[in-house]
Amino acid sequence: MSEQKLTAELRTEFGKGFARRARMAGQIPAVIYGHGAEPIHINLPGRATTLAVRVSNALLAIDVDGEQHLTLVKDIQRDPVKQIIEHVDLQTVQAGEKVTVDIAIHVSGEVAPGAVASLEATTVSLEAEATHVPTAVEVDIEGRKAGENIHASDLVLPKGSTLLTEGDTLVVRIAETASEAEEETTAEAAE
């Protein structure tokens, strides 16, 4: 994942009133923390930040008064109704450093006829290099039959990633379609 570059302003005022004024001026309050340093309170440009954080675990290069900070988005607080970004928490990272992240699972392919797939876990926890965090883990279910479930240990992880989720965690359940299961039950009851 490539880093997005943003220029931030150092924030010296705090509280709800200041945060509200910053958002009205098109800025998003944020904080950079990590590596034992004091937190740095900043304002980010609203539109550019909204575009940059559309993907989970976005890597941002923040310029604060000429000082560069490589950060990973750890949390985004949104307005529950308008869904606008109200605040962003950023964790300082370094190239080559391993970080723990939750990665989305994307399912591709079609199961065998008479089977249906259901996604049981939408994310898995991985340890990955901060500058090479994967955007998703792909799960291919092409041609799988009922009963061929996929667990976390079965996932093909991106290079350099380590699975932190328990290996026996069910990720994709493949079962018979409801109509076939009902027909079998009805046939057994009739006999």
pLDDT in tens, 132-180: 888 889 999 998 898 889 999 999 988 888 999 998 999 999 999 876 5
pLDDT at 160: 85
Q: How far apart are CA 112 and CA 184, in angstroms?
A: 18
Residue type for position 24 = M
Tokens 């027909």 label which residue? 183
Do residues 128 and 134 make contact, with C-beta atoms less than 8 angstroms apart? yes
pLDDT at 50: 87
Q: To the nearest whole number, what is the mean pLDDT of the chain? A: 86
Per-residue pLDDT for 123 more than 70?
Answer: yes
d(CA 190, CA 178): 18
pLDDT given at position 89: 93
DSSP string, the chain: -PPEEEEEEE----SHHHHHHHHHTTEEEEEEEETTEEEEEEEEEHHHHHHHTTSTT-EEEEEETTEEEEEEEEEEEE-TTT--EEEEEEEE--TT-EEEEEEEEEEES-PPTTEEEEES-SEEEEEEEGGG--SEEEEE-TTPPTT--EEGGG--PPTT-EE-S-TT-EEEEEEE-HHHHHHHHHHHHH-
Which structure tokens are listed for 70?
């490589």
Provide mean pLDDT across the span 31-56: 88
Q: Do residues 109 and 49 make contact, with C-beta atoms less than 8 angstroms apart?
A: no
> Contact, 127 vs 100, CB < 8 A?
yes
Comparison of pLDDT for 66 and 20, the residue scoring more? 66
pLDDT tens for each residue of 99-116: 999 999 999 999 989 899
What pLDDT is attached to residue 130? 86
Provide the percentage of residues in the chain whose pLDDT is more than 70.
92
Q: What is the pLDDT of residue 25?
A: 85
pLDDT for residue 158: 85
pTM (predicted TM-score): 0.73
Give, in order, the Cα–Cα distances in Å from 180 to each of 115, 156, 174.
9, 31, 14
Residue 49 has pLDDT above 90, yes or no: no
